[in-house]
Amino acid sequence: MNEIGLIKFGQEEHISRLKDQGTLYFNNIDYFRTKENDHRFDQFEGYDRIVQARDITNFSIDGQSFEVDPQQGPICFQTKENWVTHICCFSILASEAKIYEGIPRLFDPRLTEFGNSFALVLEVQNFLNQLEVALIEQNIVNYRMDRVEYYPVESYTGKWNPFKKPIEYAYQQEYRIAIQSDNDQGITISIGKASTVLLGPIGVSTMRNEVVDGIAIIV
């Protein structure tokens, strides 16, 4: 999928601060695994490996092997392989329209569940370059910026990381910035004024999100 930009939904005050002050908020990774009433909730967040229980017939503990009855569902493992502690989420604006609710659109209307306003990043590489400089200046040396891939966890076995999510979240088409920090709370990264690479805040109430004759109409 080719992207033409990124979009971030949130409350108007937060989107305004992003544009005017360049403050980008990163949630602790545990937030995504514990906020069951939040649309960002994902019980598999933070794990390093997923194994289908039906594939396990015995466990080995301290050299002793124990047989187990095959069970259903995935078993998740968390080790020290996963260095990510905080995540900031955007969604990808695809260059190809898809049909949602019978209308050609650039993104799934369910994204409006994440806030009453949104911002568009059309100069994506400039924005990411600006962010990368800010991370280094703030002594964050372990980071990764990438799109999320989606898998059916009821059949998937293999390594897992913050850039893999269950397929039911595919409508979000996430692009994530993942970092490592000693802070166990949410943190704010200052990237400098973002008004030159970002459009917004735009109220959800004014959004059209339609593609007409090859022209994307956001508002």
Burial per residue of 97-106, b for 16 or more beta-carbon CB atoms within 10 angstroms, e otherwise? beebeeebbb
Cβ–Cβ < 8 Å for 205, 219:
no
From first CA to last CA, the distance across the chain in angstroms is 23
Whole-number pLDDT of residue 88: 96
Cβ–Cβ < 8 Å for 78, 162:
no
In the block, which residue shows the tokens 């910026």? 145
- How, if at all, do strands 210-212 and 187-190 pair? unpaired
pLDDT tens, per residue, the chain with 219 residues: 567 899 999 999 999 999 988 899 999 988 888 876 667 789 899 899 898 877 777 766 667 665 666 666 788 888 777 789 999 999 999 888 899 989 999 899 999 999 999 999 989 999 999 999 999 999 999 999 999 999 999 999 999 999 999 999 999 999 999 999 988 899 999 998 777 788 989 999 999 999 998 888 888
Residue 162's CB: how many other CB atoms inside 10 A?
23
Q: How far apart are CA 202 and CA 219, in angstroms?
A: 8
pTM: 0.88
